[in-house]
Amino acid sequence: MDNIRNFSIIAHIDHGKSTLADRIIQECGAVSDRELTKQMMDTMDIEQERGITIKAQSVRLDYVKDGKHYILNLIDTPGHVDFSYEVSKSLASSDGALLIVDAAQGVEAQTIANVYMAMENNLTLIPVINKIDLPAAEPERVAEEIETTIGIDATDAVMISAKTGVGIRELIDAIVDRIPAPVGDPSATTKAIIYDSWFDSYQGAMALVRVFDGEIKTGQMVKLMHNNENHQVLELLYPHPLRRQKTQSIKSGEIGIVILGVKEVGSIRVGDTITDARNPAKEPVGEYAPAKPFVFAGIYPIDTDEFESVRDALDKLKLNDSSLSYEPETSIALGFGFRVGFLGMLHMEVVKERLEREFNLDLIATAPSVVYKVYKTDGTMVEVQNPSELPEPQNIERIEEPYVRATVIVPTDYLGNVITLLTAKRGMQEKMEYLNETRVMLIYVMPMNEIVVDFYDKLKSTSKGYASFDYDPIEFRQGDLVKLDVRVAGDVVDALSVIVPRSSAESRGRALVTNMKEIVPRQLFEVAIQASIGNRVIARETVKSMGKNVTAKCYGGDISRKRKLLDKQKEGKKRMKAIGKVQLPQEAFMSVLKMD
């Protein structure tokens, strides 16, 4: 155990975590130069295409220093705020962390959030200043910023360039010297925590574990503590991006993959403890706090026959993404589907894309919403995730909405733009602090529903991409909120309902019907698109009917012949308007997201 080092790589987005993981893998000789590809740890197509890490990935490496053999278990983590749950799981399985900071950009919002998470887990932090090869790099200024903003000693920060390979060997030596060896009792009964899992078509549910006490052996009968199920260990592997290595046992302090041949997806749960079936541990290692979804949206199959396929796909995806939560729901407009909880908008996009790609599904996602606490006049309280579930206005005493504490770090040149944006989103300033002459940290309290749709995009556009953003949920506060309904041809489309502040309801309603007018296909009859609060219509647009030239065959003759044909057409259109149904395209549901 003295020769094992378990560590995570944490940083803000695009500060070079995955590139550094590639260099460490290369330096340790785990892959040849011919096999090395960019971002080796990002194994999903969607990660490669977007250039972001979505899933934390582990690899076991061998390293020799001063003639002594060491085992390095590296975990590469995501940087985006939506995937911070992946980071927290990884940190709970590590003994130390590399805090990567960009030598040009310096400390960003997510850097601070990750440091707090590492400190909560009592991890040894090694500050690493990356990208020192950039022309704009200022490593000394960034080291000073780490000390003043975060409060950790950066005098022995390791200076590296993950791109060119400068300082990588010194960094690995620092990992061996400064990160403590894992602590555990090799002779005690087996005790291991599952910190990731996924479904394999051939081998069933697979679990990635960190062993704290004892060891797991091939053929051993083990118990899953959350449901008391016993399973036999069929196979044990060490994680590797290309070649997983088989082993007969995973010892105390090590990380490995356990294959139990579990076919039931719900049997394996992230945060659960694996112990020996004959001599079980009395206490579990300690579960992770479950991820709390902030954003809810309906996900419906375009083909209603695929409902069970969507359920099956969500079950399998939940095994790999434990922050996902879902329950069945129905919509008049869309039929049967699921109300799915996400950690943010990027998480929602990624989950929808993974469902479509990995399980070959065609899906519609409705407008995202947050959870509201609705206090009714009869003294009861209900939690509303779906705007269509909101009680009638006369039965509501008050509505409370979730608030977050947002941290934004922005260059001083764009400070005015960002403050204007935060104020427009109902933000209230708590703190403004100059980190240095060029960068400011803003702390604002704002409603969660103002940041779930397009806040991140607007923040990036108003700051030319330089602002960084992180948030923490704090509490529920009373708000003056109303439900905005959309009626198409007189029928309320429940999937398009949104809850908005009363002050901006009219402008939102107008923007929505204007967008919808461009999207709703023209029918043979006139279609009215209305935005309403309760029964009061606040905005309206009309999609003109497609006209057929019924008088084309009339050449000359009495005008009454033409009038007769036109009146007949008008009667038909009137009848169609009364009974006609309008099929809404998927873009209509997305237009709710795009309205400004």
Is 19 assigned a ligand-binding role in the annotation? yes
Q: Nearest CA to 321 among 343, 296, 337, 294?
A: 343
Residues sharing a CB contact under 8 Å with residue 522, sequence separation 6 or more, in sequence order: 543, 544, 545, 546
List own/partner pairs for 160-165 with CB under 8 A and 24 or more apart: 160/20, 160/128, 160/129, 160/130, 160/132, 161/130, 161/131, 161/132, 161/133, 162/16, 162/19, 162/20, 162/22, 162/23, 162/130, 162/131, 163/16, 163/19, 163/131, 163/133, 164/133, 165/23, 165/26, 165/27
Does the annotation list 420 as a binding residue?
Answer: no
Q: Is 66 annotated as a binding residue?
A: no
Determine whether the annotation assigns residue 17 to a binding site: yes
Residue 399, CB-side half-sphere exposure with 13 Å CA sphere: 24
Tokens representing 50? 């977007």
347 labelled binding-site residue: no
Residue type, 52: I
* Side-chain-facing half-sphere of 404: CA atoms under 13 Å: 21
Q: What residue ranges in 367-421 does DSSP mark as E strands? A: 372-376, 381-384, 396-411
Give the helix/strand (H/E) hosting 84.
Answer: helix 84-92
Buried b (16+ CB within 10 A) or exposed e, 272-286: bbbbbbeebbeeebe
Q: Is 106 annotated as a binding residue?
A: no
**Ligand-binding site membership of 153 (annotated):** no
Q: List phi, psi (to 5°) of 416.
A: -60, -45
Q: Are strands 4-11 and 96-102 parallel, antiparallel or unpaired?
A: parallel
Residue 16 labelled as part of a binding site? yes
Contact 303, 311 (CB under 8 A): no
Residues within the annotated binding site? 14-19, 130-133
Residues within the annotated binding site for GTP? 14-19, 130-133
